[in-house]
Every structure is written in structure tokens, then in C-alpha cells.
Amino acid sequence: MNNPSPVDKSASGIGERQFHIGIAPGEVSTVALLPGDPFRVPLIAEFLTEVETVAHNREHLTMTGMYKGRKITATSTGMGCPSTAIAVEELIRVGVTSFIRVGSSAGLQPGVKPGDLLVSEGALRNDGTTAAYAHHGFPAVPDLAITLELASVARELVADRASTVHTGINASDDAFYAETPEWIAELNRLGVLNVEMESAALYVVSRLRGVRAGMICSTSSNLYDGTSLYSGVDTALKDGWMLSIEAALEVAVRLEL
């Protein structure tokens, strides 16, 4: 009688249609823009030509199209590090080698206002997913060239606008409603620029798998001074989304990702 053999998930799904995102090799580009919300994937498609919907399974909607002669993929990750890690793992298995997250994030420092652009230089890992991947001291950092180019392009795009580009360390939290005033004050004291829920997983998985990643977000609110999108600044947030998408697309072209 043969002994049972545990499943090796690191080897499963290679060369096949992926279970969660519903994509097979050859159906996507080498670069993917990653919003959290599937309803923001069509916003990316507004910049593209020859748009195709590749798959929509669970929270993961994927569309492809052309931007300035380069094929671009957009896939929604859903909220939080667990679903982001799954999406990134499976996109890597179908051929993606570079990721740029284009999302929403809350500011934590004075002067960060709704609609401003936030370019991440690294993430404080306040999540559980990356703890399953790496030692707690392992850094969650983006690709340097992508990060520098995102900041440069973003500044070009806001040159004649009221928006500002900020760069710095962000936090990745797991529990949106567990963020207490004390926690927000501690992040502010540490100089953390903003907080979101996905980048730690994006960076750690990408580093471990040997691919590239970066992030540019639109500011949804400022948790330190109480400025919130729920106070009627959603137009600024959407304008920031569109600028972040344009910046990410330009970086994909300029760096030939």
C-alpha cells in the first residue's frame, strides 16, 4: 500500500489555466497593473486599444489591451494580502514578470490630501500572509527602477495640477476596522506615509519569485487629520486613480516591462 503524498502547491498549476484567476499561459502580457477593485479594471481599459476581457473569476477580473504599442494586462487583486498573493502567484505562472499596483491608500502625514499620488518605497508588514512566506525581518520592498520611474512620471503628470506626489514607506494592514486611533498615531510617529492592504504581499511574493513590482496609489483620505473620502472628496480620489494609471502605463512603456 502506497503512503499518501502531500500536495506540493509550489509545483501545482504550472503551465495550466489557473484555478483562481482563470487565466492560461499566453493570454496575458509580461506586465500587469493591479487595482484592488474589479470595477477599476475598466478604468485602466479606457487608456487602452484592442481591449479584451480575458477572465472574471471571484474578485479577479482581467482585461488586456494595447498602450503605445505595448500589450498591457490589468487584473484586480481583491482586498487584502491573501487574495493579492494568490493573484500574483498565479499571474507569475502564466507569464507576468512585472507588476504595478494602482490602488487607493489613506495618508498618515500632514499635507497629504485626497487625490494626491503616493509612490511606495517599501511596506511595513502588518499582515499575516507574508509571515507565511518569509522571516518577520525580511523586507517588503519594491523594484528600485520601477519606483524611481513611477515617481518621476507622476511628477510630470501633476506639474500643472493641484495634486502633489509623495514618496515614502507605507504600511500594509490586514484589518481595516481594527485600525485604532493609537495605531494611526504610532504610524504617524514613525513617519509612515500612508496605509493600504496589499503591497506587502505584492513585494514579498515578487521578491521570492524573482519578478519586479512597484506601487502608486491615489490618496483616499488622511487618517491623521480626519480628511475622508466619505466627506465628499471622491472626485479627487477618482482623478488620482486616473493619474496613477497613466503613470503606471507610461512606466511600463518606458522601462519595456
- Percent share of the chain, pLDDT over 70: 97
Mean pLDDT value of segment 6-20: 90
Q: What pLDDT was estimated at residue 66?
A: 98
- In the predicted model, is pLDDT for residue 2 greater than 80? no
Q: What pLDDT was estimated at residue 233?
A: 47
Rounded to whole angstroms, the Cα distance separating 13 from 154 reads 37
Q: What is the mean pLDDT of the chain?
A: 95
Rounded to whole angstroms, the Cα distance separating 177 from 174 reads 9
Q: What pLDDT was estimated at residue 229?
A: 58
- In the predicted model, is pLDDT for residue 230 greater than 80? no
Q: How confident is the model at residue 208 (pLDDT cuts 50, 70, 90)?
A: very high
pTM of the model: 0.96
Q: Is the domain defined by 31-254 classed in CATH 3.90.226.10?
A: no
- In the predicted model, is pLDDT for residue 1 greater than 70? no
Residue with cell 480626519: 226
**Phi, psi of 167, rounded to the nearest 5 degrees:** -125, 145
Rounded to whole angstroms, the Cα distance separating 243 from 240 reads 5
Q: How confident is the model at residue 240 (pLDDT cuts 50, 70, 90)?
A: very high
- In the predicted model, is pLDDT for residue 139 greater than 60? yes
Mean pLDDT value of segment 109-124: 96
The amino acid present at 133, given as its one-letter code, is: Y
Q: What pLDDT was estimated at residue 166?
A: 98
Mean pLDDT value of segment 75-98: 98
Q: Smallest Cα–Cα separation from 47: which of 201, 253, 227?
A: 253
